[in-house]
Amino acid sequence: MAAAIVISLALLTGYSYWPRSPVSLVQGENMAMSGLYASWEKGDVMVLVRHGERCDRSSNDCLGASDGITRYGSSVSTDVGRSFSELGLAQTDVITSPLTRTAQTAQAMFGHPVEAQDWLYNCDETMLNQVMAHKSLNRNLIVVTHSGCIGQLESLHGYPHSATSEYDSALFISLDSHGKPVIRGILNPEDWKRLAQQKNH
């Protein structure tokens, strides 16, 4: 009986300390500790970005078709894209899910149509392997996709209780010294300005 109680307490304690979601990169020293700036310079980063605000789930005006994003969502996506540009896109590739909401998000972020690939919508447990397969050597990869795909990847790689990603949020993954992908953390749209302030201090 006593042993069962100890095991139960251990499980409860372990669950309470289990990270629910990847860390926020704007909190504390998380960005500095992640090494992402150096990894970005080397072209060793993959970023999964959720599409902008869905028109069919908002009272805001649609950008176009009802299966796309809102005008507000488009403006947020443009701001996020500007932040990616400030990181530097010279050695960065971008691909997107073919659905209207992701295609519109990618165009708002980067100012031009982006190559669409079906696997970014019909994602499964091979999502991370697929991302790795589409990443070129010494080139970063930005993938515009869906919350379900991002959540599935997080769940299978250390975050089974992860919260649903926000619109236009970015999940950063970089390669370690052995070339293994490691989830480094998340930036939500409102975090980029604060991150820039941290970098300039």
Note the pLDDT of residue 70: 98
120 in a structural domain: yes
CATH number of the domain enclosing 169: 3.40.50.1240
Q: How high is the pLDDT of residue 7? A: 45
Cα–Cα distance measured from residue 75 to residue 189, given in angstroms and rounded to the nearest whole number: 11
Tell me whether residue 9 is in a domain: no
- Model pLDDT, residue 196: 82
Q: Does a structural domain hold residue 7?
A: no
pLDDT at 188: 97
Task: Please provide residue 174's backbone torsions phi and psi, each rounded to the nearest 5 degrees.
Answer: -130, 165
Q: Can you give the residue range of the structural domain that contains 195?
A: 21-200
Whether residue 143 lies inside any domain: the answer is: yes
> Do 176 and 53 contact (CB within 8 A), yes or no?
no
Number of domains in the chain: 1
22-58 as b/e: b if 16+ CB within 10 A: bbebbeeebbeebbbeebbeebbbbbbbbbbbbbeee
Asked if residue 4 belongs to a domain, the reply is: no
Q: Would you say residue 111 lies in a domain?
A: yes
Rounded to two decimals, what is the model's pTM?
Answer: 0.89
Residue 3 in domain: no
pLDDT score for 107: 98
Strands 170-175 and 45-50: antiparallel
Segment-wise mean pLDDT, segments of 10 residues, the chain, 201 residues = 48 52 94 95 97 97 96 98 96 98 98 95 92 97 97 92 94 94 96 84 63
Q: Is residue 175 part of a domain?
A: yes
Torsion angle (degrees, nearest 10) of CA 149, 170, 158, 15: -110
